[in-house]
């Protein structure tokens, strides 16, 4: 299938990308890996008139050790994140997550920044972003700012990102070993339920994706955690659970508890 | 030479081109001056079309033409190929199926208008500019609801949306009486869900009208080019058949969905003459979901009555079959002659009554999909058998042994006359089950299962001992049942002067490997190298005639036609050889590529005979030169492959997710020409069958919108969803065709589905659940376990 | 827009619209029709080619994004008329039937074996999760990849 007509601009710097975005407003879309955007455009569900390709901006592409944190540029692909030794050593829950996104071809092209900005409620990263308490660094015409994990996700395909802002990097505090477990949607292989859990001192942090229209920190689980798996019963406390063709509200709620339990078992 | 190709796993001749990207699929073809078509399709499942405004589209850049159902093409419709009668003798309801919607759209995705433009981009862009004033109507998508009084009417002239009602078997009263006297009745109510065939190559067509020759060429991704030509010329466009060439080179899978004559084929052919340019249309996947004929979709109530010993006394089935919004080419014979006639299964059931009502609904047309009616009947029988076994506390394997028709070879013992019209050719049903039980190590498994259950692990085993009717079909028989075509096949063998052999078959490969398997038996028959045999198919200008490939008929019918021609060649060659050897024809024998005077060392090679046939200087008097024969083969009967499939699963107690641990398939497809290809057919069929059991299903919402219209929502098996398939076979030759072959294309898909479902039911039998609707999604299994 | 890239070892320059996907570019502009298109949602993998050494779904890469890259398609895999060991293994073990998914399967298999020369059956199955085959039930595809691994390691 062929997308509706658009103009393509390859941005060579972050500043240029932001200025193009300000200039074209809502008619423009940022193209990163393109693995969410391009299929939607081919189906003509999404029809931006301008595509700003940030794929060539080197400044967005590296994974670095920042001392107490690992910083991943927005353009890092799922493959790079899954296989980065820095990520494996210091934020292994993130590499576990990246490894089960899509398929091998998708992981080579899809980027963490693109995935986060797209904010599909069934995408995998948000669970790890929340569980590691990562910070999303963004830049727009009003300058740079950091958005905390819990503030970033705001709803289905909705984030705290301003209209002319782009994600530049994500900063993951180094964490103890964690785990990401996922119940795959059988067709798309997105997460029906995805649960990331990491040790945090004596406690834990738990991020859940796929269950609600917004990924969330399972605070009730974190509070109830007593070293056993019984806290899993609190997986959906205070949460509006989604329902769709692949999992009703009741079943998804059940799965959330099962997968939190499985994550806790692996901690 | 001495050849021994039959029975060998010869590597495929066609693979080099596919492996190097040199296949010739229809979308790979580019013609000079080719234009592109794009469709405006109905967004509604059922809507009156008040008006269509094409003016903007017509004026858009690059647009060459825009047509709607108000144009001449709206007068043409594609036909149904099989006439079924109501029980009362009236012909089925057969409303027109226009090339573009006329007056009303009856399913989401129905073609409403077509735009033809210089480029695909321009065609697509312009199609979006077509404005249609729709008036939404009430919708019905479920066949059982559709036939209720007061349901929305899909076609005004089909009351209660009923295409026909139909029955087969013994009189209903006799079956009812036997049921009343039964010791135990197992009853199931279920839906055999709708499937999207999903050949990975989407449908693709190029129509090219040549004004100078006044000739049409249609390149099409079809399984049966001659049938498309016949239907399109004689029944749709009214154009002379000799002025139409239909070409179907490489086709990327069919599974039934590319048998039918689709509206787009005729529309493009018509439009190509109108604009005087070749026109291409290739479906994208979304369009495929909305316009390809789907498969299955039956609502079934089935009962099997047993005596106290577990002998089957009677079978009673009532189903509503969904045929969709229009009658696709073979749609009407699927729930009837390809389904009801299989109700005997492998069992001696003395009384059977199958009652079918076929319904129109606001959904895609439904037609044959790998197995076509037979998987649905096999699911009924085999799901009933395992369920009855659980209910009656009899081992499911034992229950089958109690009820199998005893072995018969069709030569020394007569064929088996069923209660549902057919006579089976040969069978040894207990043989395949015994072998499968050995392979699974059944006794060990039951111990392992018990131990696992104590540790909270749910293992299950499921059986399916299926039979299928293939080798479609004796023309006179199908003609008496309503087929509007004969179902013979044509095989043309041309021995070239140098002794090389060109074979032209009306059968068609879209993955089956004809170029290899056919060459194997041709080479063996003539005693020549396979390298000296070339198989041609898929071009109506090259192949005299043919009925195509479906119903596992290629070897059994297409192969037999070739054998007939080979026999004629060998017979004529003998006349030439006798002349050259100065011997009596009766004193010659033909073997290993040589005519030899019996008991002597006097011989002549086939190649020399061929050369003599074309350079007839020293030649039998009165004999025509040349060595070139064409034959029609009309089978004496269907063929009846059968087999035993066993599935072992583990069910995740927490999530309901089913993990397929083992799948064992012991099939008997008669004689085997190429075991590598046969195994491949079984593997693929099995996984499609498992897909139905576990993952696949087209769903519509209450407005008739498909909610599974892409690969993001329609789940199909991937490599990590399935294990290796453990195969073996027994060989019970077909007694009535020269190769003794039965067909292997559909067996896997027919047998596998109930085996998996039965295995899941066995895994959770201790909970007391007897049925879960397919596909057995994790949620459905989990829910069942909560009950 | 003008793009310059290497395809199967040859440098090519073409003018394309931004809407042109890499798969359409290969098929329509370069007549490399071995790269097939089986879906619109990046699901089926029939269009898989390698881009700078990595398997990508060419239907989800714009031709303009591929500017400056090195592309290998199924047509570029065999050298001097002899099949690549992965192609050879698919032929030997009947890893294809209709042939439509085959180019994508082969290109993905090449990628799997580049990254993991000794994959287990499960690793192969996971590696192929982005490629649909409707004919083979994957049985002989997985076997083919196993045998290709052996012959590449030999």
Angle at B635 between CA B631 and CA B639, to 5 degrees: 135
Last residue of a domain, one of C31, C51, C76: C76
Q: Which pLDDT score is estimated for A86? A: 97
In B121-140, the residues whose Cβ lies within 8 Å of chain A are: 121, 124-125, 128
Chain C closest CA to A21's CA: distance in Å? 18
pLDDT at position B90 is 97
Residues of chain A whose C-beta is under 8 A from some C-beta in C?
1-8, 10, 31, 34-35, 38-39, 42-43, 51, 53, 55, 79, 102-106, 108-109, 188-189
B610 occurs within a structural domain = yes
Compare CB distances from C129 to A6, A10, A103 and report the shortest one's residue: A103
Are B646 and B771 contained in the same domain?
Answer: yes
Mean pLDDT, residues B624-630: 98
- Establish if B705 touches chain A: CB-CB under 8 angstroms: no
pLDDT per residue as tens digits for the range B335-394: 999 999 999 999 999 999 999 999 999 999 999 999 999 999 999 999 999 999 999 999
Q: Final residue of a domain: which of B633, B654, B675?
A: B633
Residue C55 near chain A (CB below 8 Å): yes
Looking at chain A, which residue has its C-alpha nearest residue C43? A188
Chain B residues touching C34 at Cβ < 8 A: 20-23
Query: Min CA distance, A36 vs chain C (Å)?
Result: 9
Q: Do both B316 and B379 map to the same domain?
A: yes
Nearest CA in chain C to B513: C97
Q: Which of B15, B22, B687 sits opposite C96 (nearest CB)?
A: B15
- The mean-pLDDT minimum among A71-75, B482-486, C133-137 falls in B482-486
The shares of helix, strand and coil residues in chain C, as percent rounded to the nearest 5, are 40, 20, 40
Task: Tell me the sheet residues that pair with B670.
Answer: B741
Same domain, C72 and C8: yes
Mind listing the pLDDT tens digit for each residue in B416-453?
999 999 999 999 999 999 999 999 999 999 999 999 99
Using CA atoms, how far residue B598 sits from A83, B527, B594, B603, B706, in Å, is: 74, 17, 11, 9, 70
Contact C94 B680 (CB under 8 A): yes
Say which CATH number the domain at A12 has: 3.30.43.10
- The CATH number given to whatever domain includes residue A168 is 3.30.465.10
Within a domain: residue A2?
no
Question: Comparing C-alpha atoms, which of B300, B66, B323 is closest to residue B192?
Answer: B300
Indicate if the pLDDT at residue A177 is higher than 90: no
Mean pLDDT (chain B, rounded) = 97
* B203/B254 Cα distance (integer angstroms): 9
Q: How confident is the model over B545-568, as pLDDT tens digits? A: 999 999 889 999 999 999 999 999
Among chain B residues, CA nearest to C33: B28
User: What 3-state class would DSSP assign to B481?
Assistant: coil
List alpha helices for B238-322, DSSP H. 263-275, 285-291
Chains A & B: contacts with CB separation below 8 Å? 46
Instruction: Check whether residue B453 and residue B530 sit in a common domain.
Output: no
**Pairing assessment for the beta strands B35-41 and B279-282 based on DSSP bridges:** parallel
Question: Among residues 77-136 of chain C, which lie with CB inside 8 Å of chain A?
Answer: 108, 111-112, 127, 129-131
pLDDT at A158: 95
CATH number assigned to the domain comprising residue C101:
1.10.150.120
Best residue in A34, A79, A104 to probe C by mutation, most C CBs within 10 Å? A104
Q: What percent of chain C has pLDDT over 90?
A: 97
Asked, for residue B397, whether it belongs to a domain, the answer is yes
Report the DSSP pairing between strands A135-140 and A143-148.
antiparallel
- Residues B310 and B224 occupy one common structural domain: no
Consecutive H or E run containing B32: none
A43 plus A86 within the same structural domain: no
Verify that B216 and B79 share a domain, yes or no.
yes
What is the rounded average pLDDT of the residues B155-163? 97
pLDDT value for B477: 87
Whether A251 and B782 lie within 8 Å, measured CB to CB: yes
A168 lies in some domain: yes
Do A66 and A143 have their domain in common? yes
Nearest alpha carbon to residue B639 among B552, B560, B561: B552
Residue A49 pLDDT grade (very low, low, confident, very high; cuts 50, 70, 90):
very high
**How far is A237 from chain C, CA to nearest CA, in Å?**
34
Are B690 and B752 in a shared domain? yes
Concatenating the DSSP letter of every residue in B62-130 gives TEEEEEETTSGGGG-BPPPSB--B-TTSPBPP----BSS--SEE-STT-EEEEEEESSHHHHHHHHTT-
Q: Do B286 and A1 touch (CB under 8 A)?
A: yes
Last residue of a domain, one of C21, C49, C76: C76
Domain with residue C25: its CATH number is 3.10.20.30
Same domain (yes/no): A201, A219: yes
**Residue-wise pLDDT tens digits, A217-257:** 999 999 999 999 999 999 999 999 999 999 999 999 999 99
- CA of A221 vs chain B CAs: smallest distance (Å): 19
Q: Which of C21, C53, C76 finishes a domain?
A: C76
Contact pairs from chain B to chain C, CB under 8 Å: 184
Whether residue B284 lies inside any domain: the answer is yes
Tell me, yes or no, whether C59 and C33 share the same domain.
yes
- The proportion of chain B whose per-residue pLDDT surpasses 90, expressed as a percent, equals 97
- Candidates A251, A258, A264: best to mutate against B (most CBs of B within 10 A) is A251
List of chain A residues whose C-beta atoms are within 8 Å of the C-beta of residue C38: none
Rounded Cα–Cα distance for residues B335 and B320 (Å) = 9
Query: Does the residue A192 lie in any domain?
Result: yes
CATH number of the structural domain spanning residue A199 = 3.30.390.50
One domain for residues B722 and B774: yes
Is A236 in contact with A254 (CB distance < 8 Å)?
no
Assess whether C126 and C147 both reside in one domain. yes
Mapped onto helix, strand or coil, the DSSP state of residue B716 is coil
Contacts of C53 in chain A (CB under 8 A): none
At C154 the pLDDT is 86
Please count the other Cβ atoms lying within 10 Å of the Cβ belonging to residue B725. 25
CB pairs under 8 A between A and C: 77
Would you state the pLDDT for residue B787? 81
3 state SS for B307-368: CCCCCEEEEEEEEEEEEECCCCCCHHHCCCCCCHHHCCCCECCCEEEEEEEEEECCCCCECC
Tell me whether residues B21 and C139 touch, CB distance under 8 A.
no
Probe site for chain A from C2, C15, C18 (most A CB atoms < 10 A): C18
Last residue of a domain, one of B269, B291, B313: B291
Give me the residues of C, 125-144, that contact B with CB < 8 A.
125-126, 128-129, 131-143
| Domain's final residue, options B607, B633, B659 | B633
Closest partner CB to A258 (pick from B654, B708, B713): B654
For B673-685, what is the mean pLDDT? Answer: 98
- On whether both C64 and C100 belong to a single domain, the answer is no
pLDDT confidence of residue B485 = 86
Subunit partners of chain B (3 or more CB pairs within 8 A): A, C
Helical segments of B666-773, H only: 675-694, 747-763
Q: Are residues C92 and C57 in the same domain?
A: no
What is the pLDDT, as a whole number, of residue B480?
86
Residue B46: inside a domain, yes or no?
Answer: yes
Domain that holds residue A189: 178-266
**Chain C hits for B725, Cβ within 8 Å:** 137, 139
Assess C120–B contact: CB distance below 8 Å, yes or no: no
Is residue B170 domain-resident?
A: no
Candidates B14, B20, B22, partner chain C, best to mutate (most C CBs within 10 A): B20
pLDDT tier, A1 (very low <50, low <70, confident <90, very high otherwise) = confident
- Look at residue A176 and tell me whether its pLDDT is greater than 90: no
Q: Model confidence at A150, in pLDDT bands (50, 70, 90)?
A: very high
Domain that holds residue B389: 295-473+637-786
Indicate yes or no: CB of A245 within 8 angstroms of CB of B654. Answer: no
Instruction: Give the CA diameter of chain B.
Output: 86
A143 within some domain: yes
Tell if the CB–CB gap between B779 and A248 is shorter than 8 Å.
yes
B481 pLDDT tier (thresholds 50, 70, 90): confident
Structural domain count of chain B? 3
Indicate if C28 and C45 belong to the same structural domain: yes
pLDDT, average across residues B265-273: 98
Asked if C117 and C98 sit in the same domain, the reply is: yes
The pLDDT tens digits for C41-55 are 999 999 999 999 999
The more confident residue out of B37 and B767 is B37
Check whether residue A200 and residue A150 sit in a common domain. Answer: no
Structure tokens at B630: 């064409």
Nearest CB to A43; choose among C1, C40, C111: C40
CA B721, B723, B727 angle in degrees (round to 5)? 140
Residues of chain C positioned with their CB less than 8 A from the CB of B12:
91, 94
Tokens for B581, please give them.
């050897």
Nearest CA-CA distance, residue B655 and chain A, Å: 7
pLDDT digits (tens, 9 = 90+) for B284-317: 999 999 999 999 999 999 999 999 999 999 999 9
* Counted domains in chain C: 2
Report yes or no: B439 at the A interface, CB cutoff 8 Å: no
B120–A4 C-beta distance less than 8 A: no
Boundaries of domain holding C143 = 85-153
Give the closest of C40, C62, C130 to A106, CB-based. C130
Query: Is residue A201 located within the same domain as residue A239?
Result: yes
Question: B214 and B73 in one domain?
Answer: yes
Counting the structural domains of chain A, the total is 3
Q: Which residue of C has its CA nearest to A80?
A: C54
- Spell out the SS3 assignment of B591-660: ECCEEEECCCCCEEEHHHHHHHHHCCCCCCCCCCCCCEEEEEECCCCCECCEEEEEEEEEECCCCCCEEE
Residues of A in contact with C108 (CB under 8 A): 104-105
Residues of A with CB below 8 A from C59's CB?
Answer: 42
Q: Please answer yes or no on whether A186 and B695 come within 8 Å at the CB atom.
A: yes
Whole-number Å distance between alpha carbons of B773 and B322 = 17
CATH number at residue B62: 3.90.1170.50
Q: What is the pTM of this model?
A: 0.97
Mutate to test the interface with A, among C5, C19, C64, C104 (most CBs of A within 10 A): C19
Q: Does position A262 have pLDDT exceeding 90, yes or no? A: yes
Please report the ipTM that was assigned to this predicted complex: 0.98
Helices marked H in A91-194: 92-99, 104-109, 112-118, 125-131, 149-152
């Amino acid at each position: 299938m062929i997308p509706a007509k658009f103009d393509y601009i390859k941005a060579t710097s972050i500043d240029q990308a932001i200025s193009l975005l300000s200039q074209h407003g809502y008619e423009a879309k940022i193209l990163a890996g393109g693995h969410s955007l391009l299929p939607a455009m081919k189906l003509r569900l999404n029809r931006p008139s301008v595509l700003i390709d940030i794929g060539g901006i080197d400044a967005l592409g590296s994974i670095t050790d920042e001392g107490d944190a690992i910083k991943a540029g927005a353009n890092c692909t799922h493959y790079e994140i899954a296989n980065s030794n820095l990520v494996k050593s210091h934020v292994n829950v993130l590499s576990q997550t990246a490894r089960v996104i899509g398929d091998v071809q998708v992981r080579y092209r899809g980027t963490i920044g693109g995935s986060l900005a797209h904010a599909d409620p069934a995408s995998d990263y948000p669970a790890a972003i929340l569980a590691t308490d990562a910070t999303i660094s963004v830049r727009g015409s009003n300058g740079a700012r950091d958005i905390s994990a819990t503030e970033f996700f705001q709803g289905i395909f909705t984030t705290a990102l301003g209209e002319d802002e782009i994600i530049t990097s994500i900063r993951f505090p180094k964490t103890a070993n964690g785990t990401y477990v996922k119940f795959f949607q059988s067709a798309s292989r997105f997460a029906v339920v995805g649960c990331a859990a990491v040790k945090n001192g004596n406690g834990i942090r738990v991020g859940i994706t796929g269950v609600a229209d917004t990924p969330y920190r399972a605070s009730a689980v974190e509070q109830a955690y007593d070293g056993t798996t019984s806290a899993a019963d609190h997986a959906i406390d205070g949460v509006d659970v989604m329902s769709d063709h692949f999992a009703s509200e009741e079943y998804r709620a059940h799965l959330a508890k099962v997968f939190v339990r499985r994550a806790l078992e692996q901690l | 030479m001495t050849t021994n190709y039959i029975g060998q796993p010869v590597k495929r001749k066609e693979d080099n081109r596919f492996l190097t990207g040199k296949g010739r699929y229809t979308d790979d073809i580019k013609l000079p001056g080719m234009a592109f078509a794009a469709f405006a399709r109905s967004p509604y499942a059922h809507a009156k079309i008040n008006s269509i405004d094409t003016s903007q589209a017509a004026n858009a850049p690059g647009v060459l033409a825009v047509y709607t159902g108000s144009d001449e093409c709206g007068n043409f419709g594609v036909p149904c190929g099989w006439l079924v009668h109501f029980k009362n003798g009236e012909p089925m309801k057969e409303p027109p199926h226009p090339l573009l919607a006329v007056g009303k759209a009856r399913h989401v995705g129905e073609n409403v208008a077509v735009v033809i433009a210089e480029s695909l981009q321009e065609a697509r862009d312009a199609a979006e500019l077509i404005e249609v004033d729709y008036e939404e109507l009430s919708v019905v998508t479920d066949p059982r609801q559709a036939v209720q009084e007061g349901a929305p009417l899909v076609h005004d002239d089909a009351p209660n949306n009923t295409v026909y009602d139909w029955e087969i078997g013994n009189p209903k009263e006799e079956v009812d009486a036997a049921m009343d006297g039964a010791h135990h009745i197992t009853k199931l109510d279920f839906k055999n869900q709708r499937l999207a065939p999903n050949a990975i190559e989407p449908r693709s067509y190029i129509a090219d009208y040549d004004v100078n020759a006044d000739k049409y060429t249609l390149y099409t991704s079809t399984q049966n080019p001659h049938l498309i030509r016949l239907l399109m010329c004689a029944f749709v466009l009214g154009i002379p058949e000799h002025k139409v060439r239909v070409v179907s080179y490489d086709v990327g899978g069919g599974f039934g969905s590319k048998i039918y004559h689709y509206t787009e084929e005729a529309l493009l052919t018509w439009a190509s003459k109108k604009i005087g340019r070749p026109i291409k249309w290739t479906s994208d996947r979304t369009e495929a979901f909305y316009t390809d004929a789907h498969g299955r979709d039956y609502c079934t109530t089935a009962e099997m009555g047993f005596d106290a010993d577990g002998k089957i006394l009677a079978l009673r089935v009532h189903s509503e079959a969904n045929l969709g919004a229009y009658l696709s080419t073979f749609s009407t014979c699927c729930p009837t002659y390809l389904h009801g006639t299989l109700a005997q299964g492998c069992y001696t059931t003395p009384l059977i009554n199958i009652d079918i009502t076929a319904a129109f609904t606001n959904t895609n047309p439904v037609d044959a999909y790998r197995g076509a009616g037979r998987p649905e009947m096999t699911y009924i029988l085999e799901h009933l058998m395992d369920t009855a076994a659980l209910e009656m506390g009899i081992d499911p394997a034992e229950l089958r042994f109690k009820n199998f028709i005893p072995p018969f070879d069709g030569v020394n013992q007569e064929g088996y006359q069923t209660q549902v019209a057919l006579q089976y050719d040969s069978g040894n049903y207990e043989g395949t089950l015994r072998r499968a039980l050995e392979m699974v190590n059944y006794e060990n498994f039951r111990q392992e299962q018990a131990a696992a259950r104590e540790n909270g692990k749910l293992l299950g085993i499921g059986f399916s001992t299926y039979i299928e009717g293939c080798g479609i079909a004796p023309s006179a028989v199908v003609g008496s049942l309503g087929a509007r075509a004969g179902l013979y096949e044509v095989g043309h063998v041309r021995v070239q002067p140098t002794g090389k052999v060109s074979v032209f078959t009306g059968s068609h490969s879209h993955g089956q490997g004809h170029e290899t398997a056919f060459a194997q038996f041709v080479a063996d028959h003539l005693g020549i190298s396979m390298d000296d045999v070339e198989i041609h198919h898929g071009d109506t200008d090259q192949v005299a005639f043919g009925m195509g490939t479906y119903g596992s008929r290629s070897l059994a019918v297409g192969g037999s036609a070739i054998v007939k021609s080979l026999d004629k060649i060998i017979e004529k060659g003998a006349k030439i050889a006798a002349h050259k050897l100065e011997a009596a024809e009766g004193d010659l024998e033909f073997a290993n590529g040589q005519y030899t005077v019996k008991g002597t060392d006097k011989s002549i090679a086939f190649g020399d005979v061929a050369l003599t046939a074309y350079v007839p200087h020293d030649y039998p008097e009165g004999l025509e030169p040349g060595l070139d024969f064409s034959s029609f083969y009309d089978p004496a009967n269907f063929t009846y492959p059968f087999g035993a499939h066993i599935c072992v699963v583990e069910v995740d107690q927490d999530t309901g997710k089913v993990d397929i641990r083992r799948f064992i398939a012991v099939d008997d497809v008669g004689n085997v020409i190429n075991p590598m290809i046969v195994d491949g057919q079984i593997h693929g069929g099995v996984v499609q069958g498992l897909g139905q059991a576990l993952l696949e299903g087209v769903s519509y919402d209450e407005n008739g919108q498909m909610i599974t219209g892409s690969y993001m929502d329609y789940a199909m098996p991937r490599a990590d969803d399935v294990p290796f398939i453990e195969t073996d076979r027994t060989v019970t030759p077909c007694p009535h065709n020269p190769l003794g072959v039965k067909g292997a294309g559909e067996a896997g898909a027919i047998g596998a589905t109930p085996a998996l479902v039965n295995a899941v039911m066995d895994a959770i039998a201790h909970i007391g659940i007897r049925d879960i609707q397919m596909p057995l999604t994790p949620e459905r299994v989990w829910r069942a376990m909560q009950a | 827009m003008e793009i310059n890239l290497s395809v199967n070892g040859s440098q090519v320059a073409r003018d394309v619209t931004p809407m042109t996907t890499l798969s359409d570019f290969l098929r329509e502009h370069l007549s490399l029709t071995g790269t097939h298109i089986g879906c619109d949602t990046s699901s089926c993998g029939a269009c898989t080619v390698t881009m700078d050494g990595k398997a990508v779904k060419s239907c989800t890469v714009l031709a303009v994004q591929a500017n400056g890259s090195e592309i290998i398609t199924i047509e570029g895999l065999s050298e001097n008329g002899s099949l690549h060991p992965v192609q050879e293994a698919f032929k030997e073990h009947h890893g294809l039937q209709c042939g439509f998914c085959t180019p994508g399967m082969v290109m993905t298999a090449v990628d799997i074996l580049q990254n993991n020369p000794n994959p287990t059956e499960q690793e192969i199955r996971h590696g192929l999760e982005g490629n649909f085959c409707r004919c083979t039930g994957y049985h002989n595809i997985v076997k083919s990849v196993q045998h290709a691994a052996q012959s590449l390691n030999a």
